[in-house]
Amino acid sequence: VYNFSSGPAMLPQPVLEKVQSELLDWRGSGMSVMEMSHRGDDFTGIAERAEAALRRLLDIPDGYRVLFLQGGATAQFSMVPMNLLRGSSADFIDTGIWSKKAMAEAAHYGKVRLAGTGEAQGFTRVPAQEVLDFDPAAAYVHYTPNETIGGVEFSYVPDSGSVPLVADMSSTILSRPMDISRFGLIYAGAQKNIGPAGLTLVIVREDLLGEPITGTPTVFDYRVYADNASMYNTPPTFAWYIAGEVFAWIEGEGGLSAMGERNQRKAAKLYALLDATGFYRAPVAQDSRSWMNVTFSLVDEALDATFLAGAEMVGLKNLKGHRTVGGMRASLYNAMPEAGVDALVEYMREFERTHG
């Protein structure tokens, strides 16, 4: 079965097999990782190795802290402004549903300002750098490099000058190499390219770990996590362990360059099919097409249900688009093998042949 769900998504099969093999007894400890004290040597070793692997993969510079949190990316919509929006205002680039949610939440804590929007194009294209209008006095600029629902992705990192750039990388982190030094803070829910749901990753430049706004609960203060190796309270230990196994798997596959090449190839195969036919339609502009979430529709919507039912029958699962936009969406995260994309392309060709 190939699971094209936007999340929780497929995990790499070798990772699942390894986790299964040590599920009841982790390396002779007599315990499952789920049962270990997070402060014991076994688990702190697992936690440290996971962070070290992530640092190697992303080449994270020394002045950045990696935090392993809970609450999903949604909690970060609040945690970022609580920690960074001190009395000033924040700039937002609006590219669709997720950036709007982040902006709405930040408005509870301070002033928000629109620095650019793709609304006029129905969120089928990200705004170009030239039209972005940043406030040099802003506390930070927030954007969503990949809009998971719309399938709209930035092909460039916005230049926000000296204002720290904050990115919701939930659905694009680890999909290719990236330059961490361009960012002030990156956050991501784990359940796409990192590991199981329940873990949230934050990579933050050390100088941004300042004073949170008055009234911020201790459990939402980045500094508290940074000072306590993300173990102020009980962390999501099992998800953290699996994330470490996923990082090791990516390293074994050749790291992020290899992932990037593979992901680009996967997306290109599907877009090539969409561009070559009048039977399917890809709504997103060429320069803003997501590698991770490919959105498309059937020109004849009356065939949607037949298309989805037929796909399920041949093991191509969860291709239905988000309820707010309809159509189809194929999520092609790291764990989706090229064979899964090939199977989808073959199914789509055959469906067009028999229904076109």
Binding annotation for pyridoxal 5'-phosphate? 73-74, 98, 148, 168, 191, 233-234
CB of 191 within 8 A of CB of 8? yes
Tokens 């941004």 sit on residue: 208
| 236 contributes a contact to ligand PLP by CB under 6 A | no
Q: Cβ of residue 11: shortest distance to ligand PLP, in angstroms?
A: 16
Q: Which amino acid is at 304?
A: D
CB of 172 within 8 A of CB of 292? yes
Distance CA 131, CA 110 (A): 24
Q: How big is the site for ligand PLP, counted in residues (CB under 6 A)?
A: 12
Q: Cβ of residue 232: shortest distance to ligand PLP, in angstroms?
A: 20
In the complex with ligand PLP, the residue whose CB is nearer, 235 or 298, is: 235
In the complex with ligand PLP, the residue whose CB is nearer, 117 or 171, is: 171
Distance CA 148, CA 171 (A): 6
Region label for 207, one of left (φ > 0), alpha (ψ between -120 and 50) or beta (otherwise): alpha
Q: Cβ of residue 95: shortest distance to ligand PLP, in angstroms?
A: 10
| 237 contributes a contact to ligand PLP by CB under 6 A | no
Out of 3, 83, 95, 171, point to the residue binding ligand PLP (CB under 6 A).
171
| 189 contributes a contact to ligand PLP by CB under 6 A | yes
Q: How far is the CA of 195 from the CAs of 240, 243, 301, in angstroms?
A: 8, 5, 34
Which residues, 90 to 109, sit near ligand PLP by CB under 6 A? 98
| 170 contributes a contact to ligand PLP by CB under 6 A | yes
Q: Cβ of residue 352: shortest distance to ligand PLP, in angstroms?
A: 29
In sequence order, the β-bridge partners of residue 165 are 141
Binding mask 55-84 for ligand PLP (x = CB under 6 A): -----------------xxx----------
Distance CA 223, CA 159 (A): 26
- The catalytic site residues sit at 98, 168, 192
Judged by CB under 6 A, which stretch of 9-17, 19-27, 168-176, 330-338 contacts ligand PLP?
168-176
CB of 298 within 8 A of CB of 304? yes
| 148 contributes a contact to ligand PLP by CB under 6 A | yes
In the complex with ligand PLP, the residue whose CB is nearer, 144 or 175, is: 144
3-state helix, strand and coil shares in percent for the chain, rounded to the nearest 5: 40, 15, 40
Residue 6: closest CA among 299, 345, 339, 290: 290
| 198 contributes a contact to ligand PLP by CB under 6 A | no
Q: Cβ of residue 105: shortest distance to ligand PLP, in angstroms?
A: 11
Structure tokens, 142: 């927030």
Give the residue numbers of the binding site: 6, 39, 73-74, 98, 148, 168, 191, 233-234
Q: How far is the CA of 23 from the CAs of 48, 131, 190, 317, in angstroms?
A: 20, 52, 20, 27
Q: How far is the CA of 147 from the CAs of 24, 97, 136, 178, 229, in angstroms?
A: 38, 7, 25, 17, 30
Question: Cβ of 249: how many Cβ atoms within 10 Å?
Answer: 18
| 212 contributes a contact to ligand PLP by CB under 6 A | no
Q: Cβ of residue 27: shortest distance to ligand PLP, in angstroms?
A: 30
In the complex with ligand PLP, the residue whose CB is nearer, 200 or 216, is: 200
> 10: which DSSP letter?
P
Out of 91, 94, 153, 168, point to the residue binding ligand PLP (CB under 6 A).
168
Residues lying near ligand PLP in the complex (CB under 6 A) are found at 6-7, 72-74, 98, 144, 148, 168, 170-171, 189
